[in-house]
């Protein structure tokens, strides 16, 4: 087993968080190695080729809040590639209001996490029915003193507006966006300021109206022509340009404290392809791995961190995405806008969401037209609800294709032919843990408090920062700057 000279930093994990952090480190001359267990960097922000078209295999947009991602994109020289999605909006595919079956309606517009600001609005009544809309309106009449502070989103919505609003409007978003049950979502994480606004407005719907009125105009999300994965490519290229090294198919099997010329440091045992091992020494370590892997490394690294493994960590949800490139001229009219979220228990559908990718992003539609003319479309279906068996578990590619075509037909209201599928790909994420779940923020705080006095280690990733690039990127940059400041101070300037 070989052992190399000490590096300044080893970054464990080559997803968006790890690469963002590594870029900060190499820019000040710190010798940095990024190790990624899979065969490519990017994590949930990767690409794949389907029927000759390069598409995002994970995240395909980024939130505009705070402007942090846009600023990062500017630094990477991708400003001109930023694009807005089709403003047509999405739909809901739900159990029918009566007599069984299913129904599809446009998603109500003036909402927050599905909670309506105007419960009697036509688009709300279309989704939940007139009686449930009136029940939701009673929220306006309930006295403010009965509200108080709430920590869980689901019980608050049920108490104030009724189960129909929860099950038909809020839950499709909580499972589709946060991979968590609404009953487990922490209000202060997913909707900062909502509790305070309730007290001011005297009702939940009034609070939503107040918060929505302060929202900035324009799209809440943006994309990148050619795919958000271009951001990953640009960051990786920048790291290597500044002398950083990126190794894929490499796992950090072990992490142990060590002495480096009288200074604290780390020894890592890296396991590469074929099981070959190498010991690497580093002055500092940035852990950007999944939650389970990060806790494993920390709890075995120091005795005082062993308690972190005993915290009540939730079981991760497994999510699978099925992407179809299909010849279906009937979809040229985008019958469900940019896609649909599916309510739990909707008959005849296993997917929890569908994105009509070629209707949402003009650059995708243009790629299809350039390739083989009009009538071809890209659809992406998402499977895997928290607490439920993954519907696609153990299924062959052929069976998943057939299921995806069947689900797409039901959701879009257009019969699709499996024989018309030109390309198919599936992507599975096995460690989806929502930072927005009640208790997760406290567990993450315990991790951060445990390591805050150790200037040689930091932890980043969506499980600590929150879901999406708008949360991951600024958190990773700040954590890297903390290590960077420590390195420059300790080493007397590099």
Tens of pLDDT along 76-105?
Answer: 999 999 999 999 999 999 999 988 899 999
Give pLDDT, residue 494: 46
CA distance 107 to 341: 9
pLDDT at 177: 84
Nearest to residue 133, comparing CAs of 213, 205, 210? 205
For helices 440-451 and 291-301, give the axis angle rounded to 10 degrees.
40
CB 124 within 8 A of CB 109: no
Q: For residues 413 and 203, what is the distance between their CA atoms, to the nearest angstrom?
A: 37
CATH topology of domain 104-213: protoporphyrinogen ix oxidase, domain 3 (1.10.3110)
The domain defined by 316-432 folds into: Polyamine Oxidase; Chain A, domain 2 (3.90.660)
Q: How many CB atoms lie within 10 A of CB 296?
A: 18
pLDDT in tens, 327-369: 999 999 999 999 999 999 999 999 999 999 999 999 999 999 8
List beta partners, residue 104: 93
**Structure pTM?**
0.92
> What's the pLDDT score for residue 353?
96
**Residues, the chain:** 494
Strands of 109-247 (E only): list them. Answer: 111-112, 115-116, 221-224, 245-247
177-186 pLDDT per residue, tens: 888 889 999 9
* Alpha carbons 208 and 273: distance in angstroms, whole number: 52
Q: What is the pLDDT of residue 421?
A: 97
Give CA–CA dist 391/398, Å, rounded: 14
Domain boundaries, the chain: 2-44+227-314+435-490, 104-213, 316-432
Q: What integer pLDDT is reported at residue 301 of this predicted model?
A: 95
Low-confidence residues in the chain, pLDDT < 70: 1-4, 144-149, 215-219, 370-373, 488-494
Q: What is the pairing mode between strands 32-35 and 245-247?
A: parallel
Residue 261 has a pLDDT of 87
Q: What is the pLDDT of residue 438?
A: 85
CA 216 vs CA 61, 186, 258: distances in Å: 18, 24, 50
Domain 2-44+227-314+435-490: homologous superfamily in CATH: FAD/NAD(P)-binding domain (3.50.50.60)
The answer to whether the CB of 324 falls within 8 A of the CB of 419 is no
pLDDT at 437: 84
Q: Is 129 exposed, middle or buried (0-12, 13-18, 19+ CB in 10 A)?
A: middle
Helices (DSSP H) in 347-458: which residue ranges?
A: 357-360, 362-372, 397-412, 440-451
Amino acid 1: pLDDT: 41
> What phi and psi, each to the nearest 5 degrees, are found at residue 184?
-105, 0
């Amino acid at each position: 087993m070989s052992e190399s000279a000490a590096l300044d930093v080893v970054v464990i994990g080559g997803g968006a968080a790890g690469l963002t952090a590594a870029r900060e480190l190499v820019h000040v001359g710190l010798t940095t190695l990024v190790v990624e267990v899979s065969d490519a960097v990017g994590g949930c922000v990767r690409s794949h080729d389907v029927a000759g078209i390069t598409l995002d295999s994970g995240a395909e947009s980024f939130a505009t809040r705070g402007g942090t991602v846009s600023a990062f994109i500017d630094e990477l020289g991708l400003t001109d590639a930023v694009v807005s999605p089709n403003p047509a909006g999405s739909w809901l595919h739900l159990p029918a209001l009566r007599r069984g079956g299913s129904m599809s309606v446009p998603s109500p517009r003036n909402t927050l996490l599905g909670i309506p600001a105007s419960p009697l609005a036509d688009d709300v009544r279309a989704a939940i029915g007139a009686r449930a809309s009136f029940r939701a309106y009673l929220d306006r009449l309930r006295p403010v003193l009965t509200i108080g502070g709430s920590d869980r989103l689901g019980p608050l919505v049920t108490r104030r507006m009724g189960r129909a609003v929860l099950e038909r409007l809020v839950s499709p978003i909580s499972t589709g966006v946060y991979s968590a049950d609404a009953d487990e979502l922490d209000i202060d994480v997913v909707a900062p300021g909502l509790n305070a606004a309730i007290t001011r407005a005297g009702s939940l719907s009034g609070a939503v109206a107040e918060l929505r009125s302060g929202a900035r105009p324009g799209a809440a999300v943006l994309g990148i022509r050619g795919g958000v994965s271009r951001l990953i490519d640009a960051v990786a290229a920048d790291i290597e340009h500044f002398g950083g090294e990126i190794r894929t198919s490499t796992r950090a099997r072990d992490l142990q404290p060590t002495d480096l010329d009288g200074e604290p440091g780390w020894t890592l045992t890296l396991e590469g392809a074929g099981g070959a091992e190498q010991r690497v020494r580093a002055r500092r370590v940035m852990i950007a791995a999944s939650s389970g892997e990060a806790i494993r490394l920390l709890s075995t690294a120091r005795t005082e961190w062993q308690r972190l493994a005993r915290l009540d960590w939730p079981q991760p949800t497994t999510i699978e995405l099925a992407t179809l490139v299909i010849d279906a001229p009937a979809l040229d009219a985008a019958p469900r806008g940019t896609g649909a979220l599916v309510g739990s228990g909707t008959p005849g559908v296993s997917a929890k969401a569908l994105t009509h990718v070629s209707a949402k992003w003009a650059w995708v539609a243009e790629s299809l037209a350039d390739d083989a003319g009009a009538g071809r479309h890209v659809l992406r279906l998402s499977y895997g609800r928290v607490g439920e068996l993954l519907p696609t578990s153990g299924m062959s590619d052929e069976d998943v294709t057939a299921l995806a075509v069947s689900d797409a037909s039901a959701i879009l209201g257009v019969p699709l032919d499996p024989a018309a599928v030109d390309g198919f790909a599936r992507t599975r994420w096995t460690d989806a843990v929502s930072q927005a779940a009640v208790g997760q923020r406290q567990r993450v705080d315990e991790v951060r408090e445990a390591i805050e006095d150790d200037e040689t280690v930091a932890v980043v990733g969506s499980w600590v920062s929150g879901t999406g690039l708008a949360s991951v990127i600024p958190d990773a940059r700040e954590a890297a700057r903390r290590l960077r400041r420590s390195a420059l101070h300790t080493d007397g300037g590099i």
